[in-house]
Amino acid sequence: MPGFESLIVITAGAILGLGMIAGIAAWCWKGWLELKRAELGIGPVAAGPPVSGRIDVADLKERVRKLEAIAAGVDY
C-alpha cells in the first residue's frame, strides 16, 4: 500500500495534468471559434493589411529606388 506522501504526489500530478489538458482544450476551442468567425466573415481576423499588399508596397518601393538611381545617373 502506497504511503501518504505518494498519494499526495500522485493527486497533485493528476490535478496538474487535468489543468493542462483543460487549458489546451480551451485554447483549441478559442482557435476553432476564430476559424469559424473568419469563415463567416464576422469580426476582424487580421490586424494589418494582407500579406500580398505588403509585398506590393515593397515591390513599388524597390522600383522607385531603381528609377531614382537611373535619374541620378547611377548604374543600378
pLDDT for the residue 2 = 73
Do 38 and 45 form a contact (C-beta atoms < 8 A)? yes
50 pLDDT band, cuts 50/70/90, is low
Phi and psi (nearest 5°) for 17? -65, -45
Portion of the chain with pLDDT greater than 90, in percent: 39
> ∠ CA 62-67-69 to the nearest 5 degrees?
95
Q: What's the average model confidence in pLDDT over 9-32?
A: 96
Among 9-13, 15-19, 45-49, 63-67, where is mean pLDDT lowest?
45-49
Round to whole Å and give the CA distance between 59 and 52: 10
Give me the chain's average pLDDT, please: 84
Q: What is the CA radius of gyration of the chain?
A: 28
pLDDT tier, 54 (very low <50, low <70, confident <90, very high otherwise): low
Which cell numbers hold the place of 2?
Answer: 502506497
